[in-house]
Each structure stands twice: as structure tokens, then as C-alpha cells.
Structure 1
């Protein structure tokens, strides 16, 4: 049996800092996380368990529930993917170029953080509705009151998560790295794909995960532009509210539990990919 004193260094608990108080802060962190996160989640599982496996599977396989989950997760994934592309572009412009109005645009990125979600939903609906400024240009093709309108709303509220996650990492990449790549014969495409993107991949995945998580649980900015048509544009959070209004608390917690499990699984996979990219490109 290996003695603790002679165990490999990787298995030893390392003191994170020379500053004392690790045990106290760790205990406080665990107690705080348990109170704020673990206990409410445990209550969610306990309440949904009142249905039993039969009732839980009945809700899980219900066509309306499945369609609402598909709309919520599908639109959140598409919106997060779009935000990854344009969020990186916005972060690049704000980081690499100096131009008049740069600080104003930089401040505008944070507007979705400060704007109440209901106000954002009303504004987007007014613009993209069939009689709105933009919606009227695309008639008879409809944007509002469809899943496409939900995607637009989620893009609006999710863009800052990608920009603010990628921007600090991009600022740390020295311009000399790009110049050295060009000196060694790399073209612009090779510099972006082989030098910049590998270094930005963990931050991009983090921004994607944050935007996706926000989109899945978004309610205020979506219900106005979605139209809330069952089997078409009804989101899972709205279905939970409908269950609560019907005093079907067990059914509401069951749908919430399903959303929690799916979200946790997807975010866990994203974190695994992020950890792999850090090891692969030496950013750990």
C-alpha cells in the first residue's frame, strides 16, 4: 500500500496560496453553493418524484412537451452558434482596430445586459411583426411569432456573453504573433485558422456555453415575439408557467427537471471539449 507521504504529487492536495484561510473559504464556498444551488435543485427533483416514473415518462413523452423542448433547445443552440461567429467578429473589431465611435460601440454591446428582457421583447416584436419596420419588408414571409423570431431574440440577449468572453483573451494575443506568422510565410487564412482560433477556442466555447444556457432559460424577451403557439413556437419555460397556472406543480417541476438534465448534459459535453482544447493547444 502506498503511503500518503510517498504518494505521487498529483494526488496531494495543494495549498492554493501562501495566504492562509483555505479551509475556511472552502467550507464557506461549499455551504454557499449548497444553499443557493444544490438544495433548490434537490427540491426540484424531490417535487417531481411525486409523479412516479409513470407520470414522469408520460410528461416526457408528451408531444407538446417534446415540441416545447425542441423549440427551446433548438433555437438556443442556433442563436448561440450565430453569436459565436458574429461575436468573434465584433470582439476582433473592438480589439484590433481604433476608429471614431469605438468606445460607443463597445458600450452598446452591454445594452442587452442592462435592458429589461420584457422591454427587449416588446421592442423586437414591434420591429419584426408583420406591420413593423423590418417585418413588413419580408412579407408574406413572417419573422415574428415563429421560431425564427425566437432565434432573433436569443441572438440579441446572447451576443454580449460571447463578445465579453472572447475579447479579453483576444487582447492578450500579441500582434507580434501574427506578424511572425506572416514573416514565416503564412497567409491570412492560415494565421486565423492555425494561430488565432486555436488560442481562442476555449474562450469561444465558454461564450457559446454561456449564450446557450441563457437562451434555454430565457422567458421575458421571447414570449412577446414567439407568439406562443403550441407545437409551433411555444417554449418550455412558458409551458412550465402554464402548468403552474393550472396548479400542476408536479408537472411543472417535471418539465423543469427534464430541462435541467438536458442542459447539464450539453454543458458537460461542452466543458469536456473545452478542457480537451486547452490541453491540445497548450492553454491550460
Structure 2
């Protein structure tokens, strides 16, 4: 038995080390093709600075809009019982499981319908425009944010809210004063994960907003355009920027002491 345990422990650690080395090798391979000085100079190029600003702005707007909708939606899924609840729960998994390109194509087709054209007429133009980036990101992260937040609310004992209501709070006050403060870490975790996911969104974005240089050029689109023109230096710089954003998000999540939530 001790020998079997040692073999199992060795295999488990070997698998872990393999995965670690594999991903480190992917990042390290960037420096085979470019020098650090080339990367640094590329970071400050007009096109990359534009892509960073556009990506951060659209990802932030999409994430905040998503949280405004997802927090009450997740609370309703966690606390209320109503007909069709399971069906809604399943539908919210679609953006998580479906290819982003498919969702982007669906958005593009929607705006080709009379209803979609009316929406654009009454609001703003989405197809091949910056608002389309925000909508594409919102579509991709909406279900993810709701599932993360539902898991957070599921972990909070509803008895606290019940006691608050017996002491005179209405349903909104019980949510705002009890459930929301208790879910603070979960909300921040959801914000962080969905923001990074929005920052890295490509498939739905390119279908709805296109890939126009210096117009709808987010960071992932910049990688795509760099690949088309064989601009390895710019592509490497953008990849490192996105790796840095992901690492920062992981540090924030770990700092909260929660790790990755259940979805």
C-alpha cells in the first residue's frame, strides 16, 4: 500500500508539473521571436495604446452593465421559486457553452430583422461600431456573471434576510442591507472574472463589430490583425498585456480568499 501511495503521489505531482511547465513554455516562447527592447517600444505604439484604451473602456462598461442586471437576476434565481426557473437556469448556460462566434452571428442576424433595425433606430448603431463591442461582451459575460453570483447567494443563509423582514425590513431592504453586503467578495470576484473575460472576447466581437484597425480594434482583434500582417512584435506585446491582465485578476481573486467560485 505505501508503494502504491508513492506511485500515485508521484503521478499526480508529475501531471501538475507538466501543466505548469506547458503553460510557462507558451509564455516564454514569445521571447524567442522578439527582444525585450522591441516589446517595450511596441507597448507604446499608437495602435496598441488605442487597443488598450478601447478594450479597457468597453470591458468596463460591459461588466458594470452586466453586474447591474446580473445581481438582481442571480438573487431571484437563488431565492425565488417560480414556473420555468429550471429552464431559465439552463438557458443562462448557453453563453458559457456556445462558441462566441455563434453568439456573435446570432446578434448580427438579430440586427438584420425589423425588430433589430428598430432597436438601432431608437438607440444607437451596433453593427460594425464600438457599441457593438460592448453588446457582444455583455452577451458573452451575462450568463457567466449570473451563475457566479447565484452561487454566491446560494452560500448565504436566507435566515438572515428572514430575520431582517421580521424586524420590519421589506424585501428590498433585506436584500440591500443584508444579502448584498454578505455577498461583497462574491460580487468583486464576479466583477473581476467577467471583466477579464470581456477583455479577452474575440469571436462575438469580430462578428458583430468587425475588425477595423483603430476603430473596433480591441486587444484580441489586434492579435488577429497582427497575425494577418505577420507583425510578430505587436502580436507578442498584446499577448503579454493580456497575460498580465489575467494574472492581475487571479491575484485579486486569491486576495479575496475565495478562489474560483462554482458555476
Which residue of 1 is the match for residue 234 of structure 2? 251
Which residue of 2 is the match for residue 51 of structure 1? 35
Give the Cα–Cα distance (whole angstroms) in 1 for the partners of residues 75 and 161 of structure 2: 13
Give the Cα–Cα distance (whole angstroms) in 1 for the partners of residues 208 and 185 of structure 2: 33
Which residue of 1 is the match for residue 201 of structure 2? 218
1:72 aligns with 2:58: no
1:38 aligns with 2:20: no
Which residue of 2 is the match for residue 11 of structure 1? none
Quick check: which has more Rg, 1 or 2?
1
Deviation at 1:190, TM superposition (A): 4.1
Give the Cα–Cα distance (whole angstroms) in 2 for the partners of residues 194 and 168 of structure 1: 19
Which residue of 2 is the match for residue 138 of structure 1? 120
Q: Is the 8 A contact 1:69 1:259 kept in 2?
A: no
Give the Cα–Cα distance (whole angstroms) in 2 for the partners of residues 172 and 34 of structure 1: 31
Q: Name structure 1 gaps, 5 residues minimum.
A: 1-19, 279-284
Deviation at 1:132, TM superposition (A): 5.5
Q: CA RMSD in A?
A: 2.6
Return closer, same or farther for 1:189/1:104 CA change in 2, 3 Å cut-off: closer
Return closer, same or farther for 1:260/1:135 CA change in 2, 3 Å cut-off: farther
Give the Cα–Cα distance (whole angstroms) in 1 for the partners of residues 85 and 103 of structure 2: 24
Deviation at 1:26, TM superposition (A): 6.8
Which residue of 2 is the match for residue 85 of structure 1? 68
Give the Cα–Cα distance (whole angstroms) in 2 for the partners of residues 241 and 185 of structure 1: 57
- Equivalent of 1:122 in 105, 109, 116: 105
- Residue range with higher mean Cα deviation, 262-271 or 93-102: 262-271
Q: Is the 8 A contact 1:68 1:231 kept in 2?
A: yes
Q: Is the 8 A contact 1:47 1:250 kept in 2?
A: no
1:148 aligns with 2:148: no
Which residue of 1 is the match for residue 164 of structure 2? 181
Deviation at 1:230, TM superposition (A): 2.2
Which residue of 2 is the match for residue 282 of structure 1? none
Return closer, same or farther for 1:135/1:264 CA change in 2, 3 Å cut-off: farther
Which residue of 2 is the match for residue 95 of structure 1? 78
Give the Cα–Cα distance (whole angstroms) in 2 for the partners of residues 204 and 180 of structure 1: 23
Deviation at 1:214, TM superposition (A): 1.6
Q: TM-score, normalised by structure 1?
A: 0.78
Return closer, same or farther for 1:66/1:128 CA change in 2, 3 Å cut-off: farther
Q: Is the 8 A contact 1:126 1:132 kept in 2?
A: no
Q: Is the 8 A contact 1:226 1:234 kept in 2?
A: no
Q: Name structure 2 gaps, 5 residues minimum.
A: 259-263
Deviation at 1:266, TM superposition (A): 4.9
Q: Is the 8 A contact 2:95 2:144 kept in 1?
A: no
Give the Cα–Cα distance (whole angstroms) in 2 for the partners of residues 113 and 258 of structure 1: 24
Q: TM-score, normalised by structure 2?
A: 0.83
Q: Is the 8 A contact 2:67 2:145 kept in 1?
A: yes
